[in-house]
């Protein structure tokens, strides 16, 4: 009986102590944590954007891949026809059907690879308000436009894309277009 009382006494002392002193309480905590960041070229970034082919349609210029239609090596006179829909499956000078293994590997104009850690859906947006409309399509997936039907890429997954260019109402001239590639985590 006496022993039990003693224990109860200790118990209440601890309780009041923790109320007053707050063993797990803190007023302010400051913790410095290091953030290190590197900005990578398209080919080695979290979202890998790797150009395919050497014909001058997709160009690895510096840190960013760029594109040119009908191609950087084409003469200035050459262009896309107006009021048309063009599809570019490969860089110029390549057969779509791929005569050799090497050719097979060079199908598509751009390889998009998820080098991150989450499953993402990938689509592209034409940011320029001009008569020329550009979309990316999934080369291996029935040429589905990567707009409302994005490609789903698990970490390590990749998709080869071609380009579809619409020139409805476009007058002849050079168009500078900007395309945004979006990879958005799906969960």
Partner 1 sequence: MQRRKMLAALGSVAVGGATAVSTGAFTNVQAQRNVSVNVADDSDALLAFDASSSTNSAYADTSENAVALDLDGSTGDDITSYNATGVNTDALTQILDIFKVRNQGTQAAVVYVNPSSVPEDQRTQTDGFGIDPQASNRPNGDFTKEETVGDDKISLTHIYDQDFPSSTSYYGGGNDALEEYVLEPGESFDFGLYVDTRNGDFDGSFDMEIVADATIVPDSYEGEGE
**Which of 9, 177, 148 lies closest to 80 in space, CA to CA?**
177
Residue 35 found at the interface with partner 1 (CB under 8 A) = yes
CB 152 within 8 A of CB 119: yes
Residue 105 found at the interface with partner 1 (CB under 8 A) = no
Residue 78 found at the interface with partner 1 (CB under 8 A) = no
Q: Which of 5, 28, 101, 172 binds partner 1 (CB under 8 A)?
A: 28
Q: Distance (Å, rounded) from C-alpha 64 to C-alpha 151?
A: 21
- The distance of closest approach from Cβ of residue 103 to partner 1 in the complex, given in angstroms and rounded to an integer, is 25
Greatest Cα-to-Cα distance within the chain, rounded to the nearest angstrom:
106
Q: Distance (Å, rounded) from C-alpha 157 to C-alpha 7?
A: 63
Of residues 145-164, which lie at the interface with partner 1 (CB under 8 A)? Answer: 155-156
Residues 6+ apart with CB under 8 A from 117: 155
Residue 171 found at the interface with partner 1 (CB under 8 A) = no
CB 117 within 8 A of CB 183: no
Q: Distance (Å, rounded) from C-alpha 139 to C-alpha 162?
A: 6
Q: Smaller CB distance to partner 1: residue 84 or 152?
A: 152
Q: Smaller CB distance to partner 1: residue 40 or 96?
A: 40
Q: Which of 30, 148, 174, 176 binds partner 1 (CB under 8 A)?
A: 30
Which one of the spans 11-19, 52-60, 77-85, 93-101 is the region binding partner 1 (CB under 8 A)? 11-19
Q: Smaller CB distance to partner 1: residue 84 or 118?
A: 118
Q: Distance (Å, rounded) from C-alpha 108 to C-alpha 104?
A: 9
| Site for partner 1, rule CB under 8 A | 13-14, 16-18, 20-42, 44-49, 63-64, 113-118, 155-156, 184-185
């Amino acid at each position: 009986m006496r022993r039990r009382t003693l224990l109860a006494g200790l118990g209440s002392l601890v309780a009041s102590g923790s109320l007053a002193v707050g063993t797990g309480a803190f007023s302010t905590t400051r913790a410095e944590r290091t953030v290190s960041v590197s900005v990578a070229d398209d080919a080695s970034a979290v979202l890998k954007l790797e150009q395919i082919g050497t014909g001058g349609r997709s160009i690895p210029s510096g840190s960013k891949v760029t594109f040119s239609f009908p191609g950087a090596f084409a003469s200035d006179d050459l262009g896309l026809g107006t009021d048309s829909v063009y599809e570019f499956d490969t860089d110029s000078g390549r057969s779509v059907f791929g005569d050799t293994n090497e050719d097979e590997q060079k199908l598509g104009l751009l390889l998009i690879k998820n080098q991150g850690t989450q499953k993402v859906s990938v689509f592209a947006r034409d940011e320029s308000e001009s008569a020329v409309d550009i979309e990316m399509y999934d080369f291996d997936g029935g040429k589905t436009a990567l707009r409302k039907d994005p490609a789903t890429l698990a970490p390590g997954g990749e998709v080869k894309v071609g380009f579809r260019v619409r020139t409805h109402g476009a007058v002849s001239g050079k168009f500078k277009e900007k395309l945004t590639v979006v990879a958005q985590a799906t969960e």
